[in-house]
Amino acid sequence: MNDQLQSFLTQLEAKKRYSNNTIAAYRNDLTQFITFLNGRLSSEQTLATVEKADLDAYIKMLIDKPYASSSVARKVAAVKSFFNHLTKTKVIGENPTTHIKSPKVKKRPPQALSPEDIDLLLNVTTGKQTPKNLRDTALLRILYATGMRVTEVVSLSVNDLNLEEATLSCTGKEGKHRLLPYDKVTMAALELYLEDGRSSLLKLQKEDALFLNHRGQQLTRQGLWLIIKAYAKAAGLEKTVTPHTLRHSFAAHKVAAGDDLHDIQHLLGHANISTTQIYTHD
């Protein structure tokens, strides 16, 4: 089973060009599924012997945990994709997931901060002019000014910035590029970080990542989450604040300001306008 899983993950990377984070999510979800099967099936049984009853039992186990409906839906979707692959590659003759329905996901409106809370968060970093504070000021401002995803932000290189035009080149999902503008305050924060912050954090001249950690290496997703969490606490914000909260706030405030929804869709990198329309509802 593990060999078939690895073959599937390789196909996602080579043919569909999924991101490392997406592939990691598939690996985690399907490893959990295979572990469940190993505890349920006999040693003689294989993926070809999996039946609808096994899948129903797996879904029931997920619901009983309980996982959020969105997590259950994601895990079921991963299993269905896996068996579709096994069917197409003729590893199995019949797809047991054909009649499996994914649980309905309870859609929750994205949590956005108020403009006042955004001001508190953006200003909490400006007390000191240390390399770390200069980095964090630029980081928070670029997150809110552009609405970028976590992976997109930490993947930025210095060469992605155009300070003269106040724009940056962002590589989004499936390698799609978009040009994002930012305001003058953010531009000033970036210039100060590049001049006095990043130059102090830099250890190797060949490193081109824009945002660096204390080791002079590219800031990680986990590092970014910890930074946001610390500053949200320092700002006295009671809501749970993540990097995605700033993305939601960017979109919600754009909608509130009357910006064109298709323009917001482009800035966010949404494939479908329906994803962007969620910000039009209170």
Show which residues are catalytic. Answer: 149, 173, 244, 247, 270, 279
66 prior amide bond cis, ω within 30: yes
User: How far is residue 56's CA from residue 62's CA, in Å, rounded to a whole number?
Assistant: 10
How far apart are the two ends of the chain, measured CA to CA in Å?
45
- Taking each helix axis from N to C end, the angle separating 2-14 and 20-40, rounded to the nearest 10 degrees, works out to 160
Helix (H, G, I), strand (E, B) or coil at 4: helix
User: How far is residue 212's CA from residue 157's CA, in Å, rounded to a whole number?
Assistant: 10
User: How far is residue 89's CA from residue 107's CA, in Å, rounded to a whole number?
Assistant: 35
